[in-house]
């Protein structure tokens, strides 16, 4: 079944505005909003991605406006991902602002939220996002077709479908014996940034040429409830 998708690329490193879609940099943050911290280790998280939906071509079911942010643990090699509970936002966070405030009402000093220097972050610097025209992807498309950065569409997995679950009380050949990603919507895929010559661009690298995926149920997306979003990270 085809799925609507908007792909994007990373521009060259540059200073960005608080409202701009980006990888890295500082987030849109109202003065009365708290900055996301690790709920157990207490240190500030790092902005991995910010999507301003006003800049994104129309995608059915997705917001038409507002800012979605993904924060990760820049001091951990797993970026805050919890293998046993992918929806536990202790070491990572998703924040959504449906309405945007004027710049005069935003925080501008982020010096208190700078995490210590770390080799764990998958990027260095900040990169504006360049969105492409909306299109569609088939679920059975080949590996090369599914890779890349995108909103919506179909995911790519390095180590196999992390949703896969075999239920022993059903027949092995019965499709009902499995649960997989297809009941979810791919909210965001952040891939390692590799060029057409299979060379690293120096912009984004998840572990050993890995990928980060964020999934949400259609019901939660319709409600704009991102509290149960699942974060998957794997690499070679």
Residues 45-54, mean pLDDT to the nearest whole number: 98
Tokens (6 digits) for 56: 């994104």
* Helix residue ranges per DSSP H, the chain: 143-146, 218-223
pLDDT digits (tens, 9 = 90+) for 177-206: 445 677 899 999 999 887 777 677 789 988
Q: In 3-state terms, what secondary structure has residue 98?
A: coil
Please identify which residue in the block is written with the tokens 């994104």.
56
Close Cβ partners of 101 (under 8 Å, ≥ 6 residues apart):
30
Local structure of 145: helix, strand or coil: helix
- Please tell me the distance from the alpha carbon of residue 36 to that of residue 47, in angstroms, as a whole number: 9
pTM: 0.90
pLDDT of residue 183: 85
Beta strand ranges found along the chain (DSSP E): 3-10, 22-23, 46-52, 67-72, 93-97, 127-131, 135-137, 149-152, 185-191, 211-216, 230-234
Of 13-27, 66-80, 132-146, 173-187, the range with the highest mean pLDDT is 13-27
User: Which pLDDT score, from 0 to 100, does residue 202 have?
Assistant: 80
Between 122 and 83, the more confident residue is 122
Q: How big is the chain, counted in residues? A: 236
Which range among 107-121, 132-146, 155-169, 178-192 shows the weakest confidence by mean pLDDT? 155-169
Inform me whether the pLDDT recorded for 7 exceeds 90: yes
For residues 116-123, give the mean pLDDT.
78
Helices then strands, each counted (H, E), the chain: 2, 11
Nearest to 135 by CA among 3, 47, 1: 3
Q: What is the pLDDT of residues 15-25, one digit of tens each?
A: 999 999 999 99
CATH code for the domain of 57: 2.30.320.10
Structural Rg of the chain based on CA atoms? 18
The number of distinct structural domains making up the chain is: 1
Full domain range(s) for residue 71: 3-234
């Amino acid at each position: 079944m085809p799925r609507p998708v908007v792909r994007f690329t990373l521009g060259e490193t540059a200073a960005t505005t608080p409202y701009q879609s980006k990888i890295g940099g500082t987030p849109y943050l109202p003065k009365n909003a708290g900055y996301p911290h690790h709920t157990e280790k207490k240190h500030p998280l790092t902005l991995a991605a910010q999507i301003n939906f006003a800049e994104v071509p129309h995608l059915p079911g997705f917001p038409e406006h507002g800012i979605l942010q993904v924060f990760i643990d820049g001091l951990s090699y797993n970026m805050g991902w919890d293998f046993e509970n992918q929806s536990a936002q202790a070491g990572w966070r998703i924040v959504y602002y449906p309405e945007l405030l004027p710049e005069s009402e935003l925080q501008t000093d982020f010096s208190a939220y700078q995490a210590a220097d770390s080799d764990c972050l998958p990027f260095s610097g900040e990169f504006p996002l360049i969105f492409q025209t909306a299109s569609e992807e088939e679920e059975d498309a080949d590996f090369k077709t599914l890779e890349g950065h995108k909103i919506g569409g179909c995911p790519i997995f390095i180590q196999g479908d992390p949703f896969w679950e075999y239920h022993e009380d059903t027949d092995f050949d019965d499709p009902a014996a499995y649960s997989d990603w297809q009941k979810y919507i791919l909210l965001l895929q952040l891939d390692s940034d590799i060029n057409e010559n299979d060379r690293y661009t120096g912009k984004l690298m998840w572990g050993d040429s890995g990928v980060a995926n964020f999934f949400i149920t259609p019901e939660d997306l319709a409600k704009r409830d991102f509290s149960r979003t699942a974060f998957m990270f794997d690499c070679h």
